[in-house]
Amino acid sequence: MAFHQYFNGEIFPVDSPLFKTNDLGLLRGYGLFDYFRTYNGIPFRWNDYWQRFENSARLLKLSLPVSQEETAKMLADLHAMCGEREVAFRFVLTGGYAPDSVNVVQPNFLIRTEALPQDNPAGRLKGIKVLPYEYVRDLPEIKTTNYMHMVLMADEMKRTQASDLLFHKNGEISELTRSNVFIFRENKLITSNRNILNGITRRVVMELAASYFEVETRTVSYEEVLTADEVFTTSTTKWVMPIVQIGDAAVGNGLAGKQTLFLQKLFEDLVADWGK
């Protein structure tokens, strides 16, 4: 069995060409996406991911052609067709085909099933390096398809053995290219609430942390991150990932922090039991 994809009411093999060249996603970069996965064969926090996708579509003024219930059935069908216990789902909604190359007529809706990305157990244990990068995403509350800066900096990240970029602007940090950022100062867990995508893993981690730490959401300065006791990032693929170096500067003692690893274990236990 193989991975398949849904496109505007039909099912195709995942490598099938689908889009025409006058799609606004191609011509104007007008599109959004979302990405999530299963644990124990069950989509993780499905309602949260759908609500975020629905909110992104609303903010981009793109109508969704199917309901949440209809989409859930498609996910089940696509999952069954691939024959894999665990899969990732990628939603893409574009502005659709535009005869005048400007105005939306009917959005195109794609759902891809994909193999799970390669895990990074070494990174979760030892931590990762990120590069500071002066930038704030346009419309950060929307998960748009524009990841231009990440692609532009890919060679530099590879050269410096960095895993990601830390966005900052005017002395304030926001997020990484594909994940949210947290810092620990003593027993206080702090995360930015401005110029960010509201990550679902971020939300879960804050829920888990509330019983053990004081959790604070507010603007976070770049200087605070550099002088934090611990720094970590969260996402669907990173889970809870320690950040131990920012550019040339070590975070704390340069090792994954104990409180970060504690939250990492709480998250790992949660997903291990998901749906049971």
At 1 the pLDDT is: 65
At 117 the pLDDT is: 84
**Tally of structural domains, the chain:** 2
Task: Say yes or no to pLDDT of 136 above 70.
Answer: yes
Tell me, yes or no, whether 215 and 102 share the same domain: no
- Find out whether 270 and 211 touch, Cβ atoms under 8 Å: no
Task: Say yes or no to pLDDT of 49 above 90.
Answer: yes
Tell me, yes or no, whether 214 and 79 share the same domain: no
Tell me, yes or no, whether 174 and 201 share the same domain: yes
At 120 the pLDDT is: 79
- Domain residues for the domain of 139 are 121-272
Tell me, yes or no, whether 103 and 151 share the same domain: no
Task: Say yes or no to pLDDT of 118 above 80.
Answer: no
Domain end marker among 58, 81, 114:
114
Tell me, yes or no, whether 69 and 201 share the same domain: no
> What is the pLDDT confidence band of residue 170, given thresholds at 50, 70 and 90?
very high
Task: Say yes or no to pLDDT of 214 above 80.
Answer: yes
Chain mean pLDDT for the chain: 96
Q: What is the mean pLDDT of residues 194-212?
A: 98
Range from 65-74, 111-120, 161-170, 252-261 carrying the lowest mean pLDDT:
111-120
Domain end marker among 75, 96, 114:
114
Q: What whole-number percentage of the chain has pLDDT above 90?
A: 96
pTM of the model as a whole = 0.95
CATH assignment of the domain containing 178: 3.20.10.10
> What is the pLDDT confidence band of residue 58, given thresholds at 50, 70 and 90?
very high
Domain end marker among 114, 131, 159:
114
Q: What is the mean pLDDT of residues 41-48?
A: 98
Task: Say yes or no to pLDDT of 110 above 90.
Answer: yes
- State pLDDT tens for residues 70-105: 999 999 999 999 999 999 999 999 999 999 999 999
- State pLDDT tens for residues 229-251: 999 999 999 999 999 999 999 99
Q: What is the mean pLDDT of residues 247-271?
A: 97
CATH assignment of the domain containing 90: 3.30.470.10
Tell me, yes or no, whether 99 and 76 share the same domain: yes
At 162 the pLDDT is: 97
- Find out whether 161 and 212 touch, Cβ atoms under 8 Å: no
> What is the pLDDT confidence band of residue 14, given thresholds at 50, 70 and 90?
very high
Q: Kindly write down the DSSP assignment for every residue of the chain, as one continuous string.
A: ---EEEETTEEEETT-----TTBHHHHT--EEEEEEEEETTEETTHHHHHHHHHHHHHHTT---SS-HHHHHHHHHHHHHHHT-SS-EEEEEEE--B-TTSSS-SS-EEEEEEEPPPPP-HHHHHH-EEEEEEE---SSTTS-BS--HHHHHTHHHHHHHT--EEEEEETTEEEEESSSEEEEEETTEEEE--SS----HHHHHHHHHHTTTSEEEES-EEHHHHHT-SEEEEEETTTEEEEEEEETTEESTTSS--HHHHHHHHHHHHHHHTTT-
Tell me, yes or no, whether 128 and 108 share the same domain: no
Tell me, yes or no, whether 80 and 127 share the same domain: no
Lookup: tokens for 123 = 């990174």
Tell me, yes or no, whether 186 and 257 share the same domain: yes
Q: Can you say how many angstroms the Cα of residue 101 is from the centroid of all Cα atoms in its chain?
A: 29
Tell me, yes or no, whether 127 and 23 share the same domain: no
Tell me, yes or no, whether 128 and 110 share the same domain: no
At 122 the pLDDT is: 83
Tell me, yes or no, whether 130 and 233 share the same domain: yes
> What is the pLDDT confidence band of residue 6, given thresholds at 50, 70 and 90?
very high
